Amino acid sequence: MKENSLQQMDGFYKELISTWLSEDSIVFQTPEPEVIKTCREKAVPLINISPPIVKYEDFFVIMKQISEVIQKYQPDLAEEITKIISALPAEPSEKKAFVSKAIIPGSSFTYYFNEDVNQDIFDFMRNYSVKPFMREYGKYMSSLYDLEKWLKGFCPVCGSYPNIALLEKEEGKRYLSCGWCETKWRFNRLGCPYCLSNESQFFTMEGIDKYRVYFCENCHGYIKTVDEASAGNEEVDLLWEDINTIQLDFIAMREGFSNQKANLALNDSEK
């Protein structure tokens, strides 16, 4: 990509994630200790037993802000975005039900919109509208499980598959990071988080030791990985690392692999 294109993309994503919440935008419900213990033993994501209560008015305010950012950087999408905004629920009870579903990873809204609405654009708007709420939810709820002992391929908080991983520099432990609520948890050093195959391989970009892409021949999934030992003294922000390594996604997809977090969210207790 050209330098001005990279700068534009950087500005675009910075504005997308710059939204803020008021103190009453989200309410957390802490389960009873015995419920937490049972669910931890059965590997049940916390969102299944105690989903966040989101102030739906704030959600739609943020979705409007997200739509304005997209139109600012992609004015050719203005007509599509207008259709989506016009199709959103208007009644308070419908808005509340809509938001309750929107925050659950993997929820589909294909039935809700007519054929004139671009589902991909809506999904993008929804994902970034959800992010500030789920980020706060992840911060609060992740303390209820021991993230060092989770060792599952899905997020202990919201049940999503990871979008990126980190190899920490001290002991080389691998941590998976959730793109939905940004919770980070420990996983096996080797193996596929999607199908749990013990076999996995990786490739790197020539001259860039900081990044690896692990891929699985069994399920054809891949996950980008940041090697903290090769990052020097710079702080690793996995959210930005994911955004700044889109080129690696293109390479992996061109080779026939897919990032399972795009279409596989785990939300039931039978994982």
Domain boundaries, the chain: 3-143, 147-262
pLDDT at 9 over 80: no
pLDDT computed for residue 265 by the predictor:
40
Burial annotation 64-97 (CB, 10 A radius, 16+ → b, else e): ebbbebbbeeeeebeebbebbeeebeeeeeebbe
pLDDT above 60: residue 268? no
Closest to 240 measured CA to CA, from 258, 224, 259, 257: 224
pLDDT at 4: 55
Task: Take residue 267 and report the two structure tokens written for it.
Answer: 């939300």
pTM: 0.88
* H-assigned helices in 142-245: 238-244
Alpha-carbon distances, residue 78 vs 15, 84, 86 (angstroms):
17, 10, 12
- 147-262 adopts what CATH topology? FdhE-like fold (3.90.1670)
Whole-number average pLDDT of the chain = 89
**Beta partners for residue 203, in sequence order:** 213
Q: What is the pLDDT of residues 17-49, one digit of tens each?
A: 888 888 899 999 999 999 999 999 999 999 999
φ/ψ of 202, rounded to 5, equals: -145, 155
Model confidence at 244, pLDDT cuts 50, 70, 90, reads confident
For residue 3, pLDDT over 80 is answered with: no
The H or E element containing residue 225 is: strand 222-227
CA distance 166 to 175: 5
CB contact set of 25 (below 8 Å; sequence gap of 6+): 54, 55, 58, 132, 133, 136
Percent of the chain with pLDDT over 70: 93
pLDDT at 214 over 50: yes
Least confident range from 50-54, 81-85, 130-134, 231-235: namely 231-235
Tokens at 143, concatenated: 């303390």
- Could you read off the pLDDT of 71-105 as tens digits, one per residue? 999 999 999 999 999 999 999 999 999 999 999 99
Mean pLDDT of 168-196: 93
Residue 271: per-residue pLDDT: 37
User: Residues in the chain, how many?
Assistant: 271
